[in-house]
Amino acid sequence: MTWKTHLRLFTFALLLLPALAWPWSRYAHELVGYLAMQDLSSEARAGVVALLGDDNLARVGSWADEVRPDRPETGPLHYVNGPVDALFPAEADYALAQGNVYSAILGYAPRVVDVDLPVTERAEALKFLVHFLADLHQPLHAGFAEDRGANLVPVIYRGETLNLHRYWDNEILDPHRERYSAAGLAAILHHRHSDAERDQWAAEFDVRAWVVEARAYLFNGLYPLPRRDHGTDEEDAVMVLDESYREVWLPVAERQLARAGARLAAGLNALFETGTSPYAQSPVAMPPPGH
């Protein structure tokens, strides 16, 4: 079977799937939660305990993925798309009626501290906020509709055919997962970045700026160049992700996860200390889907 046939079959199989948004792995979501927990203020720590009880930000990090099969209306809230030929999404990209990860962050944040809501709804809003803020920092969750955030971009990794989005959600962290627990890696990444650096990341609650920050990587080499083996033409070429690719992009994944942790902590600190959302008003009507 030629590469051309192989890749066509791969793409056809992907198109048969009902949903194509692989999330940051559970490991990555736990990592963001543990990072954020190290920077919570006393007010935010007490507020999180009041809503989550025996759970914590790390344990609830993947909750939004777990409920997604039963809450299909939340599917579009895991990502935001932008044009393939421009860094900045258009206003229409942010204001889709079905929502996206941008509007979800803005919409769920005030619900976390809305004392007129039942505690169960506030806790759910917190769990969604924790998850979606982490999702936004995976660059391909701010990708292109044309390739479904690179879910339709086949790559070869360790001899296996998968897609570029899945690699970024999961496989790129393989060396860490094999050595450290999520809590252990969080401690390492937290120590790597100074208080001043984390404060700089979290200084402004500009979610659109975070979208552009993530998208910038897409235009600066995150899509690897295809390998053209002897005798293959342009259409037969396939992207192979080897250790040289990981050496370049694993530090970026680490930085994005550290940024997510710092920004999650800062957002929760602001929410629980002031009782109001630090983010701008959502352009999409809330309450969230399902209510």
Q: Which residues are catalytic?
A: 24, 29, 65, 68, 78, 131, 135, 141, 165, 169
Q: Strands 154-157 and 160-163, how do they pair?
A: antiparallel
Sheet architecture: strand order including 239-240: 160-163, 154-157, 239-240
32: enclosing H helix or E strand: helix 26-37
Spatial CA neighbour of 266 closest among 176, 204, 178 = 204
Helix orientation angle between 207-216 and 243-274, rounded to the nearest 10 degrees: 180
**Three-class SS string for 164-214?**
HHHHHHCHHHHHHHCCCCHHHHHHHHHHHCCHHHHHHHCCCCCHHHHHHHH
Residue 236: count other Cβ atoms within 10 Å of its Cβ: 16
Q: What is the DSSP string of 98-166?
A: T--HHHHHHHHHHHHT-TTS-HHHHHHHHHHHHHHHHHHTSGGGG-BGGGTTTTT-EEEETTEEEEHHH
CA angle centred on 186, ends 183 and 191, rounded to 5°: 130
Quote the CA–CA distance of 144 and 164 in Å, as a whole number.
13
Calculate the CA 210 to chain-centre distance. Answer: 11
Residue 208 corresponds to which amino acid?
R
